[in-house]
Amino acid sequence: MAKQPLAFDKLRIETFSDTLIAVVVVSMTLNLRIPDDWTAETLAALGWQIAAYLLSFVVLGILWVNHRQLAAALDSAPRGFQWLNLHALFWVSLIPMTTAHAAAHPLEPRALAAYSGLFAVVSLSFTLLRHVLSKLKPDNTALAQVNFSMSYRSLAAAMIFGAGAPLAFITPYAAMACLAAVPLMFFVPVGAGHDRH
């Protein structure tokens, strides 16, 4: 009976997290606009909008899948998990802003640096969440399995996204390469027996 409030808290955390991620996706779609005049310039602008939306959508999808796996591995919500989860979700909530700015200024170094830099912070926040959970639940074998499968890639994602921010000021295409590399990395299986995301 004593564990029921913790299990209930875990369900509420999952529901809130799922809802916020869904709201973030909807917010990004509201920034998409089909131009009235179809010229080469307006279609190119639309292409950048769709590319930025697609990249952000895939990154959010990866985060959502991994968040669900973390939650599924927990039998209860340990103390402090709520605040660490809110910390990660705060950075996630800023994704529509940097996505729209990068879509409007696709070759602007500051826009790409902010876009890539925010993804780096988001990745770091989820890496921190994983690390703390592994310390709070050292005997949870399901959690250890999930963390073994994904922790190194989460940290690598933060480093690659982080590298994209300064590279944007050298050439925007280097930043774009970093932005595209991370989602591709998550679709490469870690090894036999592990989930493919």
Cα–Cα dist 197/97, whole Å: 26
Query: What pTM did the predictor assign?
Result: 0.85
Residue 98 tokens read as 């940097």
pLDDT digits (tens, 9 = 90+) for 75-96: 767 777 788 889 999 999 999 9
User: 195 in a domain, yes or no?
Assistant: no
Q: Which domain does 166 fall in, by range? A: 4-186
97-153: per-residue pLDDT in tens? Answer: 999 999 999 999 999 999 999 999 999 998 888 877 766 666 767 666 666 667 678
Identify whether 197 is part of a domain.
no
The pair of structure tokens assigned to 46 is 């639309």
Cα 7 from chain centroid?
25
Please compute the mean of the pLDDT values over residues 154-158 and round it to a whole number. Answer: 88
- The per-residue pLDDT for 158 is 93
Please report the pLDDT score of residue 143 as a whole number: 66
DSSP secondary structure code for residue 194 in this structure: S
CA-nearest of 61, 54, 165, 68 to 99 is 54
How high is the pLDDT of residue 102? 95
Smallest CA-to-CA distance from 71 within 21, 124, 2 is with 21
Q: Which two tokens stand for residue 116?
A: 């890539």
Classify residue 192: in a domain, yes or no.
no
For residue 152, what pLDDT is reported? 77
Nearest Cα neighbor of 14 from 57, 80, 70 is 70
Q: Check whether 64 has a pLDDT greater than 50.
A: yes
- d(CA 52, CA 28) in angstroms, rounded, equals 9
Crossing angle of the two packed helices 141-167 and 40-73, in degrees rounded to 10 = 150
Looking at the domain assignment, is residue 111 inside a domain? yes
Residue-wise pLDDT for 11-56, tens only, equals 888 888 999 999 999 999 998 888 888 888 889 989 999 999 999 9
Amino acid 46 reads L
What is the domain count for the chain? 1
Please compute, for residue 126, the number of CA atoms within 13 A of its CA located in the half-sphere on the CB side: 32
Number of residues that make up the chain: 197
Residue 12 lies in a domain: yes
pLDDT at 3: 46
Does residue 193 lie within any of the structural domains?
A: no
Dist. CA 66–CA 89, nearest whole Å: 13
Residue 52 lies in a domain: yes
Residue 76: inside a domain, yes or no? yes
In sign, the C-alpha dihedral spanning 152, 188, 197, 75 is: negative
